[in-house]
Structure 1
Amino acid sequence: MATDPLVLDGLDAFYGDSHVLHDLSLRVRAGGVLGLLGRNGAGKSTCIGSIVGLVRAKAREMTLYGEPIQGLSPERISQKGVGVVPQGRRIFPSLTVHENLTVAARTPSREGWRGWSLEDAFSAFPRLEERRRQFAGSLSGGEQQMLAIGRALMTGPRLLLLDEPSEGLAPQIVAEVARVLKELSRTGLSIVLVEQNVKLAMEVADDVVILNNGRVAHAGPVESIQTDGELVEQLLGVY
């Protein structure tokens, strides 16, 4: 029986004494894209931080391919196959494109991992190959986002988490990000996409979870919001 790449059941997360996420539950299907949506402050990034061990959290269940990850260090969770594209990109500006990618490279160590090479990264983002010797800090915002995604893929993840990858990008770059995410999903990579860009989420996601004030306000297949503009407007303020 297949095991879901990520299962969160009854997740509560905290910043100091502040209770930010309340009884949050979600699951990511194998090879699926889960769109995690919500207004600013809804708890989306806190959810990502909880998964990777950067935010204090507790849950009835928190598993990666059936293995408990609750309480593990961020390093250990990464080693188990979780790749992260953080909000704000956080590339290494004083390193070249080539160095940013190779510093993250990891040899697959267990069955089911996919190894990524420089050729794979350059195939996904040809523009990076053109700039492989350029310092990352001199790239455009869109190119830096491509680099951040490529760097995460060089870790050979089984689960990829992206936090607001379209933030501040021109529409043509957002379209390129969407293309890459759809291609990655077709290869079997499971993805959690945190977004405020509802159109992007509708284009690439299979399932969606909408957060409101740290709680799940809606969960279902992406079609459930594609056909219900009133729901999207009510929960996200856009349509």
Structure 2
Amino acid sequence: MATDALVLDGLDSFYGDSHVLHDVSFSVGAGRVLGLLGRNGAGKSTCIGSIIGFVRSRARDMRLFGEPIAGLSPEALSYKGIGLVPQGRRIFPTLTVRENLTVAARTSAQGQGDGRPGWTLRHVYEAFPRLKEREKQFAGSLSGGEQQMLAICRALMTNPRLLLLDEPSEGLAPQIIQEVARVLVDLKRSGLAIVLVEQNTALATDIADDVVILNSGRVAHSGPVSTIRSNEQLLEKLLGIY
């Protein structure tokens, strides 16, 4: 029986004295994409920050491919195999494209052993020729779409077993969103487990296998993506769509 890539059980998260996430529980199947949805302020980015260790939190259980990871530092979680594409990209603008990629480079995460090929600079450039063309440019001079591609590739260079993407389509033109979608589909086909936070519900439901919808810091709905694709009443109630 396949082990889930990520299991969260009873996650509570805090900003100072504010209790932001309440008893959030879900799992991400190995090789599957989970769409984490919700209105602005629902707690999606807080959940991502809690998984990677940026936000103070506690949980009854948190496991990465069966290994307990609750309470570990962001650095330790990265070495265990969690990669992050943060909201707002956060590339290093005064480093070149190549330097942004090589600074993150790491061989396959400890215990990966899942048969997926590792990401190297050569593999990134083959998959994203535009970055190869711009490898000597400062990252801050790239377009928004190119910076998002760079942020995704920087995370891939850590050779993650689980990839967290926080609003990858934010602020991008429609044609660039289509390119980001192509990248995510390719990553899904490669067998990489992904948690995708998105305000673009159409993008998320096109790519995700499963969905979790947060509302006021609590899980309001979870299940296969098919449970919300044609449920206009649920989408309107929880996401304000339609």
TM-score range, shorter chain: over 0.9
The percent of aligned pairs where both chains have the same amino acid is 74
Instruction: Answer whether contact 1:105 1:154 (CA < 8 A) is retained.
Output: yes
Instruction: Answer whether contact 1:106 1:115 (CA < 8 A) is retained.
Output: no
Instruction: Answer whether contact 1:164 1:196 (CA < 8 A) is retained.
Output: yes
Mapped partners of 1:57, 1:9: distance in 2: 12
SS across alignment from 2:118: coil
Q: Name the stretch that deviates more: 51-60 or 74-83.
A: 51-60
The answer to whether 1:52 aligns with 2:52 is: yes
Which among 209, 214, 239 is matched to residue 211 of structure 1? 214
Aligned pairs for 1:91-170 within 5 A: 91-108=91-108, 109-112=110-113, 114-170=117-173
Residue by residue over 1:39-98, the C-alpha shift from the partner in whole angstroms, topping out at 9 and shown as x without a partner, is 111000110111011111111110000111111111000000000000000000001111
Matched to 2:56, the amino acid is R
SS across alignment from 1:145: helix
TM superposition shift of 1:111 = 3.9
Mapped partners of 1:126, 1:205: distance in 2: 26
Find the counterpart in structure 1 of residue 68 from structure 2.
68
Q: Name the stretch that deviates more: 101-110 or 213-222.
A: 101-110
- Unmatched 5+ residue regions in structure 1? none
The answer to whether 1:184 aligns with 2:191 is: no
**Runs of 4 or more above 4 Å deviation:** none
Find the counterpart in structure 2 of residue 36 from structure 1.
36
Matched to 1:127, the amino acid is R
Mapped partners of 1:142, 1:233: distance in 2: 30
SS across alignment from 2:171: coil
The answer to whether 1:220 aligns with 2:219 is: no
TM superposition shift of 1:115 = 2.2
Instruction: Answer whether contact 2:112 2:161 (CA < 8 A) is retained.
Output: no
TM superposition shift of 1:126 = 1.9
Mapped partners of 1:2, 1:206: distance in 2: 16
Find the counterpart in structure 2 of residue 9 from structure 1.
9
Residue by residue over 1:117-153, the C-alpha shift from the partner in whole angstroms, topping out at 9 and shown as x without a partner, is 1122123322111111111000011100000000000
Residue by residue over 1:173-217, the C-alpha shift from the partner in whole angstroms, topping out at 9 and shown as x without a partner, is 111111111111111100000011001001100000000000011
Instruction: Answer whether contact 1:85 1:149 (CA < 8 A) is retained.
Output: yes
Q: Name the stretch that deviates more: 51-60 or 124-133.
A: 124-133
Instruction: Answer whether contact 1:115 1:155 (CA < 8 A) is retained.
Output: no
Mapped partners of 2:49, 2:112: distance in 1: 26
Mapped partners of 1:49, 1:216: distance in 2: 16
Mapped partners of 1:111, 1:92: distance in 2: 28
SS across alignment from 2:135: coil
The answer to whether 1:231 aligns with 2:231 is: no
Mapped partners of 1:66, 1:181: distance in 2: 25
SS across alignment from 1:216: strand
TM superposition shift of 1:225 = 1.0
Inter-CA distance 191–85: structure 2 relative to 1 (3 Å threshold): same
Find the counterpart in structure 2 of residue 171 from structure 1.
174
Matched to 2:179, the amino acid is E
Find the counterpart in structure 2 of residue 200 from structure 1.
203
Find the counterpart in structure 1 of residue 87 from structure 2.
87
SS across alignment from 2:195: strand
Mapped partners of 1:34, 1:107: distance in 2: 25
How many pairs were matched up? 239
SS across alignment from 1:42: coil
Matched to 2:27, the amino acid is R
